[in-house]
Structures are given as structure tokens and as C-alpha cells.
Amino acid sequence: MGKVAIGVAVVCGIAVAAAAAVVVHRKTKKSGRWVKAMEILKEFEEKCGTPIPKLKQVADAMIVEMHDGLASEGGSKLKMLISYVDHLPTGREKGLFYALDLGGTNFRMLRVQLGGKGRGIVNQQFEEVSIPPSLMTGSSDALFDYIAAELAKFVAQEGSDFKQSPGRQRELGFTFSFPVMQSSIASGTLLRWTKGFSIDDMVGQDVVAELAKAMERQGIDMRIAALVNDTVGTLAGGRYNNKILGTGSNAAYVERAHAIPKWHGLLPKSGEMVINMEWGNFRSSHLPLPDYDHALDTESLNPGEQSFV
């Protein structure tokens, strides 16, 4: 959610890399060091290769951790977070939709026109705004008022090529890339700030409610329809064949709702639930790691770290 395709940049990058490879190939071969270079590459490939039995061991260990994570909160290194998304887009959606992605020192706004069956994304516009450093350590009202004010400007620039269905309120999807405890499709309590933010009065508050209040103060007539993790958004966006490039590693998938022991609510009508695995911190007691892996984990992760993205 809130990400713009950058396929052209990727293609350009591949072209540059290919050209560089050709130059290196020619120069290396001419200098008589080609054989030595190939030996080094072969050795590097052999040392980096993972044996098939080890890959199967990793897969088996992950399956065990997935089941444990679905059974209870804190029962696994895989968080297996319930997203409250119980069905994915069909490709027949039609109308005007907005997205807001707050993920760090910048936030992004996206306006998308969906054309319905067979048409997919008809039109879209994107804008990125930097957050002043003072707002990252100020008050929650100041931060969300700034975001809402920029969103109001963005909405005001809506052109005639974007059409809202008559009698229908505008809807917004909100990606909030900080640790939260989500309690419904459109609510989530901030657990703590990361990425340089430190706004004490926001911790423990519902981030959707705070954004909604700021939008109301700015006179924006829009409903926040969903609070989503960017990995869940990628899974949903895949129905529209968006080319999405991101950092980090995570996975989301569709699980049968009755196969989630820790789910205590009524089963959704669809019988399904999207699960955000949070596998970036995947470790398993069923898969012992070398000492250097444990040392790296100790140095790179805060105890109990749980990221929303």
C-alpha cells in the first residue's frame, strides 16, 4: 500500500549493471587474469551455496514455528500477526481510493482510480512529503496535524480524471510502519516508536483514531477504512500486478480462519484470514544456528523487537 512502481528505474539499473559487467569482462580477459577471476567466483559460489538437505531442514523448522505462532501469542519467533483482512481484492473493485504510508522521515500519499472488472488501475497520482525533525519528537497532535494538512492539499488537487462514486464517502488505507497491537481492521495501538521518532503522548494510543481526529480538524471528509502492514498490502496489490520493490524481508499469506487457535472472535464469513508472518526475525529451536549467527542477532536486534513492517 502506498508504494509506486519503479520498474523503469529497475530496468535502467539492470542495463547499467550489464554494461559494467561487459567492460569488466573485457578488461579482465585482456589482462590475463580471467582464469583467476573465474576460480575466485567458483569458490565464492560453492561457499555460498546451501545444500538441499539444509534447505529442507529450514523449511521444516519454519512450518513448526508457523503452527506455534498461530496457536498462541509469543509462542514462536514468528509473530504470525492477525491482520483482520479476511478477503483480498477480486479485481472487480471500482471507484476512487486514497492511501497514506507513514514509514519514517517521509510519508507518501497515493490517489488511485480503479476501473472495475478487466480494467484494474485506471489512473494514479503520488506525492511524498518530508517530516520536519522537530515533529518527530514533539506532540502527537503536531505530527498528525501536519500530515493531515498535507493530505488536505493533496485531496484538493484531485483532478477531473478522478471520479468519486455519487453519494459515497472517500476512503483511505493507512500504512503505519511502527510496532502496533492491531485490534481490528481499522484500529491499532502504538507500542513504541522506532526510526528516530520519540513522541511520548502517542504511545498506547490508537493511531487510526489520532489520524482521524487530525483529518476532522482539517475538514477532510474521508473515512479510514483499513490499517494495514505493507506486506499485507503487497499481497493485496498483487491482484493488480503492481511491480513493487521494497527493503527487508517478510511474508503474508491467506490462512484458513479455523486453523488459527489464538483467534477468539467470530469466524469471518469468508472463512479466511490474512496472516502477517514477520519472518524477518525467524529463528527456531528446531534449527540450531552457528555461534556467529547468534552473535550477529545479539548485536543487530533489540530484545523483544517486534516491527509492524
| CATH at 164 | 3.30.420.40
Active-site residue flag, 230: yes
How many domains, in total, are found in the chain?
1
User: Domain for residue 28, yes or no?
Assistant: no
Predicted confidence (pLDDT) per residue in 216-264, tens digit? 999 999 999 999 877 787 777 776 665 544 445 777 888 888 888 888 8
* CB-based contact 99:110 (threshold 8 Å): yes
pLDDT at position 67: 87
User: Domain for residue 63, yes or no?
Assistant: no
User: Domain for residue 301, yes or no?
Assistant: no
User: Domain for residue 108, yes or no?
Assistant: yes
Range of the domain at 114: 94-244
User: Domain for residue 283, yes or no?
Assistant: no
* CB-based contact 251:279 (threshold 8 Å): yes
Active-site residue flag, 177: yes
User: Domain for residue 216, yes or no?
Assistant: yes
For residues 195 and 105, what is the distance between their CA atoms, to the nearest angstrom? Answer: 8
pLDDT at position 303: 40
pLDDT at 16 over 50: no
User: Domain for residue 39, yes or no?
Assistant: no
Active-site residue flag, 200: no
User: Domain for residue 233, yes or no?
Assistant: yes
Q: Among 192, 217, 223, 283, which one carries the catalytic annotation?
A: 192
Question: pTM of whole model > 0.75?
Answer: no
Q: Among 83, 140, 177, 284, which one carries the catalytic annotation?
A: 177
Element (H, E) at 272: strand 272-276
List the one residue out of 116, 113, 126, 86 whose CA is nearest residue 170: 113
